[in-house]
């Protein structure tokens, strides 16, 4: 299990002039620990330590952190929106079988070649296929 650097998470909130609250720190720590999470997955984990935290509070905090560029929304067709800590550009490989999302490092410059980069506000690259684990399971059957 990954050790969470709470000072780092606090600094992320401070840089965006957002109040550091236990709720926000817990949301960020869960997303850092588990990776891509939807609201329901977050809610189930949060209830273990903060049984009083409402779903509305989670939605509100997620929304504020997305608006402030702390979290990134990953919108996938026919799935719930997932959230991740905003990081350097990367693509997502999405398994069409188990729905697992993997981060892929990619050189964004080749994608943006020919575009006026000053006008690009957002890029999401999603690659769909069957992950290695699912391929191995299919080959064993």
Q: What is the overall mean pLDDT for the chain?
A: 84
Q: What's 114's domain CATH number?
A: 3.30.1490.190
Residue 118 is predicted with a pLDDT of 65
Do 61 and 108 lie in one domain? The reply is no
Rounded CA separation 132/105 (Å): 17
Q: Does pLDDT of 127 surpass 90?
A: no
Do 18 and 48 lie in one domain? The reply is yes
Do 43 and 103 lie in one domain? The reply is no
Rounded CA separation 60/55 (Å): 9
Rounded CA separation 102/129 (Å): 11
Does residue 1 fall inside a structural domain? no
pLDDT digits (tens, 9 = 90+) for 80-124: 889 988 776 677 788 888 888 787 777 777 777 777 656 666 667
Do 19 and 68 lie in one domain? The reply is yes
Do 77 and 114 lie in one domain? The reply is no
Does residue 124 fall inside a structural domain? yes
Query: What mean pLDDT comes out for the span 37-53?
Result: 92
Do 66 and 11 lie in one domain? The reply is yes
Q: Does pLDDT of 27 surpass 90?
A: yes
Measured at the CA of 37, the angle between CA 34 and CA 43, to 5 degrees, comes to: 100
46 close to 54: Cβ distance less than 8 angstroms: no
Do 43 and 110 lie in one domain? The reply is no
Query: What mean pLDDT comes out for the span 122-132?
Result: 80
Residue 94: Cβ within 10 Å count: 21
Does residue 77 fall inside a structural domain? yes
On whether the pTM is more than 0.85, the answer is no
Domain enclosing residue 96, as ranges? 88-140
Do 76 and 106 lie in one domain? The reply is no
Positions of E strands within the chain: 37-38, 71-74, 82-85, 90-95, 101-105, 126-129
Q: What's 19's domain CATH number?
A: 1.10.10.10
Locus of tokens 């191995």: 136
Locus of tokens 């998470």: 9
Residue 35 is predicted with a pLDDT of 84
**Both tokens of residue 16?**
């965006």
Do 126 and 100 lie in one domain? The reply is yes
């Amino acid at each position: 299990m990954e050790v969470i650097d709470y000072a780092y998470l606090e600094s992320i909130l401070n840089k965006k002039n957002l109040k550091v609250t236990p709720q926000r720190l817990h949301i960020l720590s869960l997303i850092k620990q588990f990776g891509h999470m939807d609201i329901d997955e977050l809610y189930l984990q949060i209830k273990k330590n903060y049984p009083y935290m409402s779903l509305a509070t989670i939605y509100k905090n997620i929304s504020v952190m997305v608006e402030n560029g702390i979290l990134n929304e990953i919108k996938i067709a026919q799935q719930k929106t997932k959230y991740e800590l905003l990081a350097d550009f990367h693509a997502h490989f999405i398994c069409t079988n188990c729905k697992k999302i993997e981060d892929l490092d990619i050189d964004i410059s080749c994608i943006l070649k020919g575009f006026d980069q000053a006008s690009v506000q957002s890029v999401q690259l999603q690659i769909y296929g069957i992950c290695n684990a699912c391929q191995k399971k299919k080959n064993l059957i």
